[in-house]
Structure 1
Amino acid sequence: MYLGAEAWPDLGSYFDDESLAIVPLGSTEQHGPHLPEATDHLIAEAFAREAAERTGFLCTPTVNIGVSSHHRQFHGTMWVSPPAFREYVESLTRNLTYHGVDRVVYVNAHGGNIPHLREVGRRLREDHDAYAIEWMWNESIPDLVDELFEQSGPHGGPKETAMIQHLAPELVHDDRLADARDGGIPSVADAGTVRHGARTFYDAADNTENGVLGDQTDSTAAKGERMFEAATEQLVALCEWLSRQEFDDLLPREHV
């Protein structure tokens, strides 16, 4: 069920019977010369909507802009500050608790959002208001990603390219895949910006001239479809598991 498509009287029965919501989050940022800036939020929304369709759980509208200032040197990248992002997501989640939701799955497709979503989830749990956890699609299927790609990215690489080739092929510049590969770097290790155990980079531009990593020519829509199906199964299983839990069992333990 997609919240934005429903009239308010028709949502009452959901909140009477269910207490779980799926919240997709991504970013609007550069993904190299071949992928749209919407890459992350398109992926997050696709997973969230599909899981909601399969399970009947409620899916909210997508948070399209995240913590992305590390891509700011590239045209069009949008971002909010980490405190603003955390405050917004926490407020949005507390809005859901007003309607009776007490557990939330953040379907996230942008690495820069991860620590901030974890912090919001911790705050909500410590306040006993909600149990909110972050889910990242590629982290749910690491073995399949390793099987499909020799070097998956991480950013704008064949993993994300294949996913958009499957979900929105009209937005992929297939004629630029070789340029994306040749103008980027295979991995962060190849950038030489980890020195004596320290990460000396802060921005994507410190590592790669065109903003991306990996071999984009190793991507296909068929690989994207395999990953989408496998990760959706994991997300569905997570939502169903979380729905079955007693809320008190999800709260912090007492002091030992």
Structure 2
Amino acid sequence: MQLAHLNWRQAQEKLADPNTVVVIPVGSTEQHGPIGPLGTDWLIPQWITAEMEKRTDILVTPVIPFGVATHHTSFAGTIDMGLETMIDIMRGVFQNLAKHGARRFIVVNGHGGNDPAIEKAGLELARETGALITLLDWWGIAPELNKIWTTGHGDAQEVSAIMHIKPELIDIASCPETTVNDLSDKLHFTHLSSVKFGDAHIKLVRDIKKGIPMGGFGGIDSQKANAEWGKDMMQAVVDYFVAFTEEFRRLPLDK
């Protein structure tokens, strides 16, 4: 059930039901490597929640298409809300729905930069109302379902997902090779803002575009994406999220 399709009286009844699970798709509008669309991080959660809705009784909010994208603003088209603004957005969504009874929230998130904002706003609500809030980062869960679905940013994992849900947005033949400007012969990038020195990984606070000019990196190069990978992965993710939702619905609320 889509919240946007209800009138306020219908919404009032649904939100007052203690068994209602509110699902919030959240993402970002930001660079996704040499070929991934700027909407990757919200297109995928929007698709996942639409598929979940077909199979289980949930109340899905409109997608939040903007997020914390500070690291990506050197790339054209990126829209950064900033951490404090994103906290306020999530706080507003949680509190306004909780005001009318909602106590079970699942956030289906497409962008890791959003995690701190979602967690802060969610923890505030949990303490105030006893609500249960869970955060499902699909790209991180996928490799736990199948280790070959390696994750990165704007690389083959996300491109494969888009090739399944929005194939018209990907022209894999036009994808350039990934360029990586390592810091030195002993400091090699392993992710957009992570370098390896010896046996350990170190966080690098630096403009991403200086090290990874194409923006996509961290897993498998975008050129190796394919629609079959995307289909298998997205179906497995939806299966897992639906099963989790049914278990989540049965949990007792905190007092």
**Length-normalised TM-score, structure 2:** 0.87
Contact 2:143–2:151 (Cα < 8 Å) also in 1: no
Q: How far apart are 1:8 and its partner, in Å?
A: 3.1
Q: Quick one: percent identity of the two aligned structures?
A: 28
2:76 maps to what in 1? 75
Does residue 182 (structure 1) correspond to residue 186 (structure 2)? The answer is no
Aligned to 1:124: 125
Instruction: Give the deviation of 1:202 after TM superposition.
Output: 3.5
Q: Quick check: 166-175 or 8-17, which moved more?
A: 8-17
Q: Deviations over 1:127-162 (max 9, x none)?
A: 2352212101122232445224xxx35101100000
Q: Which residue of 2 aligns with 1:225?
A: 231
Secondary structure at the counterpart of residue 108 of structure 2: strand
How far off its partner does 1:183 sit?
3.1
Deviation, 1:106, is 0.6
In structure 2, the partner of 1:110 is 111
Q: Of the candidates 143, 163, 169, which is equivalent to residue 167 of structure 2?
A: 169
Is 2:253 the partner of 1:247? yes
Residue matched to 1:93: 94
Match of 1:84 in 2: 85
Q: Distance in 1 between matches of 2:215 and 2:203?
A: 17
**2:32, 2:40 within 8 Å by CA — same for their partners in 1?**
yes
Q: Residue type matched to 1:237 in 2?
A: A
Count of residue pairs brought into register by the alignment: 244
Quote the residue 2:222 is aligned against. 216
Match in the other structure for 1:35: 36
Return 130-139 or 41-50, whichever deviates more. Answer: 130-139
SS of the residue 1:30 aligns to: coil
| Shift >6 Å, 4+ stretches | none
C-alpha separation in 2, matches of 1:100 and 1:107: 20
Greater share of helix residues, 1 or 2?
Answer: 1
Aligned-pair CA distance for 1:194? 4.6
* SS at structure 2 position matched to 1:247: coil
- Unpaired runs of 5+ residues, structure 1, are 252-256
Q: In the TM superposition, what are the counterparts of 1:17-28 in structure 2 within 5 Å? A: 17=17, 18-28=19-29
> C-alpha distance in 1, partners of 2:181/2:224?
14
Which amino acid in structure 2 is aligned with residue 86 of structure 1? I
Amino acid at match of 1:158: A
TM-aligned CA deviation for residue 116 of structure 1: 2.0
Q: Which of 231, 236, 240 is residue 234 of structure 1 equivalent to?
A: 240
Letter in 1 for 2:147: D
Query: 2 CA distance for matches of 1:88 and 1:247?
Result: 24
What's the Cα RMSD here? 2.3
User: Secondary structure of the residue that 2:47 maps to in structure 1?
Assistant: helix
The 3-state SS of whatever aligns with 2:81 is: coil
Structure 2 counterpart SS, 1:189? strand
Greater shift in the superposed pair: 11-20 or 97-106: 11-20
| 3-state SS in 2 of match to 1:141 | helix
Give the 5 Å matches for 1:43-54.
Answer: 43-54=44-55
Normalising to structure 1: TM-score of the pair? 0.86
Aligned residue number for residue 254 of structure 1: none
Identify the range of structure 1 (232-241 vs 184-193) with the bigger mean alpha-carbon deviation.
184-193
Aligned to 1:3: 3
User: Is 2:16–2:102's contact at 8 Å kept on the other side of the alignment?
Assistant: no
Q: Contact (CA 8 Å) 1:67, 1:81: kept in 2 or not?
A: yes
Is 1:59 aligned with 2:60?
Answer: yes
CA contact (8 A) 1:97 1:129 kept: no
Matched with 1:203 is 207
* Structure 2 unmatched runs, 5+: 183-187
Quote how far apart the aligned CAs of 1:198 are: 3.6
Report the more deviating stretch, 217-226 or 133-142: 133-142
